[in-house]
Structure 1
């Protein structure tokens, strides 16, 4: 067993202790990694890991380019870091209700039925999001956005009666609904009796501003403060959709997500007591450590931190306001299934262990693949179905 056991602790319940970002070793991103599958399926694990180390360089270069462009301009970097310090006291307090403000009740959600020939009834849902950034520094930038202010989701709805519903949150730059539906065999869950809501993350798909280089560019391309506010925006809009589902009589609602979506699903479970279960899949749990390990983001971030006299622990704390490790979840660990790839080199296995230890009683399932190639997918889909059935009254 790897040595993160000695510092992960039991989550955030004990406020007399220092917060997680200070207990985590400064060099966490350099620690050795591994799972029990490494010796059981060595070719699958190490082979997919080697391929992904090469692939993640292009992803890292894309993220670094978007970040660098957002910090150009005289004094911009200093302004961003000064504004980031707004968040650390909120994260240190660990009170989710002071960070994730409840959306107004009764927001109108527009539903347009889509044509389909596969037996699945689909509706395009949308509403004008009234979200306001927590940090006043970010409000002018958010107010200038046009497309990102309208929230979107695709609703696979049988329409005969309120049915247990799974909310699915996609990963970074991976918003196409068909891609996520295929990755998680969502049509099978629909035929099994579930409704599904496929959420579009801010700055992605229909929410990407005109002129964006790619879907998701706005997540990193609007500065560090905007990067902090975007998960808050996502949680706000997800809670509006939960209100909508409950208004239609849905009693059992769960959340699952892949990569960035897994991180967000875990965060939603730290905020929203109405969830029946949560399934984070290959989530990145400490973004700063992920960016430091990747290249060239590691080089860029290290230089930014040195220029501002900020260490690794402090930098984690500046972004901890939207981290699921920061808050005690109202969801019992027995209702949580964390799924990870033993060969994942985008979000390393050590990150998933941090999340599991933060969530006592949660289950951790490994498959012998990487962040993109999910070998052994059938097994984890079966475990997903078992958890969903158990806590959805199916």
Structure 2
């Protein structure tokens, strides 16, 4: 397997970080967001880490301001506050279930998926075809009290993805899940070097999360604004919707004959990849890239949105542990991973200040000290990316072979 120079898993100094214990929302220290992220590194690598971390901090402040401004009106609405407390109570029993699929139910209806050739400026494979896929989602919220409000977002009810497929026999498929506000297909095509993975022999599916891209409401201030701005109850349903529609695309891939599939995702997409890995035992591999694992703890580290955490405590009548519990239903830390150990891998940025390394470290613990690869960059600038891409490729091929061997018995 390809080795990454400069930073290795053992270079991360975790003396100050907690050992993960369940339920994590009660046992994680209250100051988790403020705990340091230390790496053993030579001077050149240390400079790279510190420099990229400072860039991340500046960019993060801008995004936090946008997200906080989008969420503030609903947070300050007094009548909505009283309603929210009652709505979140609906989800607490699902945390006591052993199987997360009790809440994240598998689709009960099929989807009529339409295939449209992609625009000329999108990736055009020479030895295959690229199509935009869409279908009218049959998803309905689990909480009946939220049905009309959630389904009132009409544009969000159409699911979208882009699919690159080789000619000839179906290939293993890499599913890519984008990050918060970072939904454009062209952006993710370049950010994760997806054409390179295609040339390595993988088909590719780029999935659009709810409230992003063409799923964004007409009057939303930016793509993804509605994802987090409508309260914690509706956020639970949004993740349920994300998984529901992704599963219908996965069913489509199976119908097309793909022999295997795995998932990767950036940031919020990494978080969603971790959740998917707790729900789907059919994945050959799951590779979260710069993932977060606790939304509330991430908020506490983002200025100025951290100033709203105290307001959220008043809205929900709880403390930090209670806010974590409200969001725990969709956290990858809450549920056991169903992907085989040989298919679990995490990519982390040593200078990441959007989703700090401590989040990757917690997921690494939870996933049984799985493969973990650090690069000396931040959330947006992935220095030495070529090295971890080759490591991903080798890992993915090995995981596919492991799965095929297990299937043969």
| Residues 1:49 and 2:61 are matched in the alignment | no
2:142: which partner in 1?
A: 134
Superimposed CA distance per residue, residues 284-311 of structure 1 (whole angstroms, 9 cap, x where no aligned partner): 1111000011111111122221454311
| Residues 1:20 and 2:24 are matched in the alignment | yes
Is 20-29 or 258-267 further displaced after alignment?
20-29
1:332: which partner in 2?
A: 340
CA–CA distance in 1 between the matches of 2:129 and 2:186? 14
SS in 2 for 1:276: coil
Following superposition, the deviation at residue 128 of structure 1 comes to: 1.0
CA–CA distance in 2 between the matches of 1:4 and 1:200? 37
Picking from 191, 216, 228, the partner of 1:208 is: 216
1:349: which partner in 2?
A: 357
CA contact (8 A) 1:38 1:342 kept: no
Following superposition, the deviation at residue 131 of structure 1 comes to: 1.1
SS in 1 for 2:196: helix
Over 3 Å counting, the alpha-carbon distance change for 1:122 and 1:282 in structure 2 is: same
| Residues 1:36 and 2:40 are matched in the alignment | yes
CA–CA distance in 2 between the matches of 1:99 and 1:214? 29
Structure 1's unaligned 5+ residue stretches are: 10-17
Is 111-120 or 150-159 further displaced after alignment?
111-120
CA–CA distance in 1 between the matches of 2:233 and 2:320? 17
Task: Map 1:80-119 onto structure 2 (within 5 A).
Answer: 80-114=84-118, 116=120, 119=126
SS in 1 for 2:206: strand
SS in 1 for 2:284: strand
1:218: which partner in 2?
A: 226
Picking from 62, 68, 81, the partner of 2:66 is: 62
CA–CA distance in 1 between the matches of 2:298 and 2:167? 42
Q: CA RMSD in A?
A: 1.8
CA–CA distance in 2 between the matches of 1:37 and 1:123? 44
1:370: which partner in 2?
A: 378
SS in 1 for 2:368: coil
SS in 1 for 2:39: coil
Following superposition, the deviation at residue 108 of structure 1 comes to: 1.8
Structure 2's unaligned 5+ residue stretches are: 1-12, 405-409
SS in 1 for 2:19: helix
Picking from 214, 235, 240, the partner of 1:232 is: 240
CA contact (8 A) 1:4 1:350 kept: no
Following superposition, the deviation at residue 4 of structure 1 comes to: 6.1
Superimposed CA distance per residue, residues 154-183 of structure 1 (whole angstroms, 9 cap, x where no aligned partner): 001113221110000000000111111111
CA–CA distance in 2 between the matches of 1:28 and 1:38? 27
CA–CA distance in 2 between the matches of 1:300 and 1:374? 30
CA contact (8 A) 1:87 1:319 kept: no
Pairs aligned (count): 386
1:379: which partner in 2?
A: 387
Following superposition, the deviation at residue 222 of structure 1 comes to: 2.3
CA–CA distance in 1 between the matches of 2:55 and 2:162? 33
Picking from 68, 73, 76, the partner of 2:77 is: 73
